[in-house]
């Protein structure tokens, strides 16, 4: 069954809805430039609400060790690194936090695939996202879809989660064309930046799960 992560969760009501609808992971963003940013007190409360019900992920951008320690103390189950962290830095953060790590890798052209294997060796999971424009002040795909055919060049055994421009209308195409082991959605289930819509979450999960599961499996 395709793993589904709903990112940018900021309220208990939305987290509860994700649990009821069968999402596997929820993401909490701690990055002040993001419209989905939440403080660590809120993150701690949401992590406690999700405990033993759903996997919880804290999304960080180029964090220093002090922030990593504070976020690890909130009780989240995973860290997601969405900045320019090198493979060595990913390994350092994983060891320092004592938590499994997801690394997001931006894809915009064939040359970007060279980094995927290096990060796969140190991260527990990978998210392949659209590479942001050069002038962007935030990382990530920013709701944009990249050319999925670029991923044909990856080793077929390489497991990854897909992100970037996913929504209720294209998720079935993503599953059938790319066959990732997981999907990561945020803006595609919103009415406005940071405003999750329960009905869109439900529809996204139903459409993603309507097809046969992926042949790629996480290690």
H or E stretch covering 71: helix 65-72
Residues 10, 36 contacting (CB under 8 angstroms): yes
Please give the DSSP secondary-structure letter assigned to residue 175: H
Nearest-5° Cα angle at 33, 88 to 190 = 105
Q: Tens of pLDDT along 119-165?
A: 999 999 999 999 876 555 555 545 678 999 999 999 988 999 999 99
Q: What is the pLDDT of residue 16?
A: 98
Domains of the chain (ranges; CATH) run 3-209 (3.20.20.70)
Which of these, 93, 182, 104, 114, lies nearest to 141 by C-alpha position? 104
What's the pTM? Answer: 0.92
Position 141 scores a pLDDT of 46
Catalytic residues: 7, 129
Q: Where is pLDDT greater, at 1 or 55?
A: 55
Question: What local confidence, expressed as pLDDT, does residue 9 receive?
Answer: 98
Other residues' Cβ atoms within 10 Å of the Cβ of residue 1:
11
């Amino acid at each position: 069954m395709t793993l589904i992560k709903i990112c940018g969760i900021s309220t208990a009501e939305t987290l509860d809805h994700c649990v009821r609808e069968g999402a596997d992971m929820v993401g909490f963003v701690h990055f002040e430039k993001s419209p989905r940013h939440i403080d660590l007190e809120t993150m701690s409360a949401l992590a406690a609400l999700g405990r033993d019900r759903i996997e919880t992920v804290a999304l960080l951008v180029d964090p220093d060790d002090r922030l990593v320690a504070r976020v690890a103390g909130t009780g989240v189950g995973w860290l997601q690194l969405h900045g320019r962290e090198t493979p060595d830095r990913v390994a350092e953060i994983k060891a320092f936090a004592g938590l499994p790590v997801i690394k997001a890798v931006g894809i915009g052209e064939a040359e970007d695939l060279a980094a995927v294997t290096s990060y796969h060796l140190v991260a527990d999971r990978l998210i392949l996202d659209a590479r942001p424009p050069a002038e962007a002040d935030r990382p990530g795909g920013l709701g944009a879809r990249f050319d999925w055919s670029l991923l044909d060049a990856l080793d077929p055994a390489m497991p990854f989660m897909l992100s970037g421009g996913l929504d209720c209308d294209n998720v079935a195409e993503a599953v059938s064309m790319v066959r990732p082991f997981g999907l990561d959605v945020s803006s595609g289930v919103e009415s406005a930046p940071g405003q999750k819509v329960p009905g869109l979450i439900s529809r996204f999960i139903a459409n993603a799960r309507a097809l046969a599961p992926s042949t790629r499996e996480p290690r």
